[in-house]
Amino acid sequence: QADSMAEVGNGTLTTHVLNTASGLPAAGLVIRLARLQEPGQQWTELAQRHTDADGRCQPLLAPGQAKSGTYKLHFETAEYWQGQGQTSFYPFVEVVFIITNPAQKLHVPLLISPYSYTTYRGS
């Protein structure tokens, strides 16, 4: 029992944003994390970050913060592309996902170009 208690809430949530048009990390991109309040459609913002030079940021959920539920990563892509001197078809990207096991480490990367984006569950 003590061992399983130590595991609870050890999960973290990380992301990484890559500009696939340039092949470089997307630096200075604003990311917000929100959690859906069940029942209903109210989102509660939990964290806001900026990507660093490597397209990464501090974990959006620290160990012990994750709970089961529906979450949304909101990426401010239009601002980023404006900073690159480019227009973009998508003003922002929202990735909605479900955390079923709060002890898991989740990595949700985003690959962006002005006219497409891809996300996947990383490790």
Q: Residue 114: pLDDT above 90?
A: yes
pLDDT of amino acid 9: 56
- Segment 108-121 shows an average pLDDT of 97
H-run or E-run covering 73:
strand 69-75
Q: What is the pLDDT of residues 20-57, one digit of tens each?
A: 999 999 999 999 999 999 888 899 999 999 999 999 99
Averaged pLDDT of the chain:
91
pTM confidence score: 0.89
DSSP state, residue 24: E
Q: Residue 1: pLDDT above 80?
A: no
**12-119: what fold?**
Immunoglobulin-like (2.60.40)
Structural tokens at position 22: 């340039």
Residues in the annotated binding site for substrate: 16, 56, 120
The three-point CA angle 34-35-38 to 5° equals 150
Q: What is the pLDDT of residues 74-96, one digit of tens each?
A: 999 999 999 999 999 999 999 99
Place of tokens 């601002």: 79
Residues in the annotated binding site: 16, 56, 120
